[in-house]
Amino acid sequence: MTETDLVIIGAGPAGMAAALAARARGVGRILVLERNGFYGGILNQCIHNGFGLHYFGEELTGPEYAERFSTELASAAVDVHLDTMVLSVSPDRQVEYIGPKTGYQVVSAKAVILATGCRERTRGQISIPGTRPAGVLTAGAAQRYVNLDGYQIGRRIIVLGSGDIGLIMARRLTLEGAEVVAVVELMPYSSGLTRNIRQCLDDFDIPLLLSHTITEIRGKHRVEQVTVAAVDADRKPLPGSETRFDVDTVLLSVGLIPENELAKGAGIELDPVTGGPIVSDRMETSVPGIFACGNAVQVHDLVDYVSAEGRRAGDHAADLLLNEPAAKEDLISLTATGDITYVVPQQIRQSSLSAGIDIFLRVKRPLPGGGVITVCADGTPILRFRRKHLNPGEMERLTLPHQVMSQQTAASFSISVEAP
């Protein structure tokens, strides 16, 4: 078995940023393993604009954004194996992988960073009854077929779920000459970014049917018809409200889940809400020496934050490898309550309080009038953040300032939101 200092799994924006950060800090032997034949992960199929506004101060396409990092990575002293799939990571950081060039290998690493991204929920996970014809696919799969392989996936299309990929594909397919008859959303609000609703649906007169769902898919060989019904407050279809649409394609944009198989195999504790590992503010997981970042931790809507998270993971892995191991210290929990769906990190190191802490959260329901987010220490409010509008589709980032945090001696923090 070979040995190395740091193995990074995934060369998407999270993994690339982690590798560059660790290298810049002076970590010696870094190995990046990526199962695709290219760098950049999901970015390669996102040929639309809208990447990098925060990070580079300009609007790039996905591939352009990826290239800024991959060019740098290619010239850095980092080993990258493409077409190489990691099969497992053990709790003591033995990484098992295979590839046509590398063959079957096991490498023992002093630290590991999981940057494996996310995957899409499928039809089975939402159990739509009916026949099982061709023409039912996830929006991300459609995006790959259309943008990477040049296939038209259908002519008359209905989209279930108003996640960002579904919205972006509604526009993309319209531009390809297909007719998108509607985007159907179960909830009374969209889970996509407001800018995507405007630019992808409104600008193309594609109707968004809120509080509706697809109750049946029909078609012998290829999709022929779907039934759409309105739903009540409990999200149950309302009998009598059915409408039928003749379409040949159903795109599903019903949610993304962190790719967490490797984490599970390593015995890492997962957050049941995010679906990703529970992490500290240093992106440490519950297993010593294993870090995680990017969509593997929580599904991000902005790549800029993914890169920042990747860098943070790389920095802290470097700390672990290059410095005296940090003294054992207690982790302070940070818990989402009330209308907050989740918060990341879920844990804060005592010693991090002096530096100030970036946190990410999502709300459970839209607060159109905005809201006040309150951070409590052992139940006592210590910080308030006012936001003009809050939406489940838009991740919020807060910085807990070091001036306040360094004063804290609490055993736990919690976070909540109220309408003003």
Ligand X SMILES: Cc1cc2nc3c(=O)[nH]c(=O)nc-3n(C[C@H](O)[C@H](O)[C@H](O)COP(=O)(O)OP(=O)(O)OC[C@H]3O[C@@H](n4cnc5c(N)ncnc54)[C@H](O)[C@@H]3O)c2cc1C
Positions touching another protein (CB under 8 A) are 35, 83, 85, 87, 96, 98-104, 106, 119-120, 122-125, 127, 129-135, 137-138, 140-141, 144-146, 148-155, 176-178, 215-216, 218, 220-222, 248, 264
Instruction: For ligand X, give the closer residue by CB, 20 or 46.
Output: 46
Distance CA 123, CA 141 (A): 13
Instruction: For another protein, give the closer residue by CB, 253 or 280.
Output: 253
Strand partners, 246: 225
Distance CA 59, CA 62 (A): 10
Minimum CB–partner distance for residue 18 and ligand X (Å): 9
Name the binder of 98 from ligand X, another protein, none, CB < 5-8 A by kind. Answer: another protein
Q: Is 303 in the site for ligand X (CB under 6 A)?
A: yes
**What is the footprint of ligand X within residues 131-190 (CB under 6 A)?**
140, 143, 164-165
Cβ atoms of 108 and 4 within 8 Å: the answer is yes
What's the per-residue H, E or C state across 60-122? EEHHHHHHHHHHHHHHCCCEEECCCEEEEECCCCEEEEEECCCEEEEEEEEEEEECCCEEECC
Instruction: For ligand X, give the closer residue by CB, 7 or 417.
Output: 7
Distance CA 349, CA 17 (A): 23
Name the binder of 153 from another protein, ligand X, none, CB < 5-8 A by kind. Answer: another protein
Query: Which listed residue (46, 128, 348, 395) binds ligand X by CB under 6 A?
Result: 46
Instruction: For ligand X, give the closer residue by CB, 138 or 374.
Output: 138
Residue 256, H or E segment: strand 256-258
Instruction: For another protein, give the closer residue by CB, 111 or 180.
Output: 180
Instruction: For another protein, give the closer residue by CB, 40 or 314.
Output: 40
Give the CB-side neighbour count of residue 282, counting CA atoms within 13 A: 20
Short-list 343, 332, 346, 344, CA closest to 416: 343
Q: Is 10 in the site for ligand X (CB under 6 A)?
A: yes
Q: Which two tokens stand for residue 140?
A: 């991300």
Q: Is 36 in the site for ligand X (CB under 6 A)?
A: yes
Minimum CB–partner distance for residue 195 and ligand X (Å): 9
Stretch that binds ligand X, among 7-15, 145-153, 184-192, 275-283 (CB under 6 A): 7-15
Computed from CA positions of residues 350, 353, 358, 361, in that sequence, does the dihedral angle turn out positive or negative? positive
